[in-house]
Structures are given as structure tokens and as C-alpha cells.
Amino acid sequence: MRVWRLHWDDKQYEEVRRAARNQNIRILSACFSGHRRFPLGSSSRELEERGIRMMREGIDFCQNLGVRMLQVAGYDAL
């Protein structure tokens, strides 16, 4: 998911939900890739904290859309 989507307002969520209903589809899963730049296991405390915040925002995003599964990829961090 693109990082800017984590900051949608209610209107943007409703537009997506309405479009899905109109097409008779359900959005059941989403893929979170924000940890490429902000890995949870980073040696940088700032990057790690940003990754944790983004993960919480990703979960909220899914709840707002009714997404049941958030796929999170694992990344190596130095």
C-alpha cells in the first residue's frame, strides 16, 4: 500500500467502499510494504519508531475499509 493512503479522510474511504459495492467485489486483503524504508528491526530508533507507527496506521486503514487480512513482508535491516 502506498504510504499516502495511510492518511485518507473519511470521504476517500467511503469512495473506495462505494466503488467496491458498485462492482460487487469485496476487498479482503491488502499488502503493506512500508517497512522497506522503515524496517521494524532497524538499528536506527527513529526508523523503527516510524515503522511501528506506520504499521498501526496500516491496521487502521484496513479497519476503515473492512479489509480482513493485512499482508506484511519481512525485510532484513542492518
Instruction: Give the count of alpha carbons within 13 A of 60, CB side only.
Output: 13
pLDDT of residue 5: 87
> Is 60 exceeded by the pLDDT of residue 77?
no
pTM for the whole structure: 0.82
> Is 90 exceeded by the pLDDT of residue 49?
yes
Q: To 10 degrees, what angle do helices 10-22 and 45-65 make?
A: 50
Question: DSSP code of 71?
Answer: E
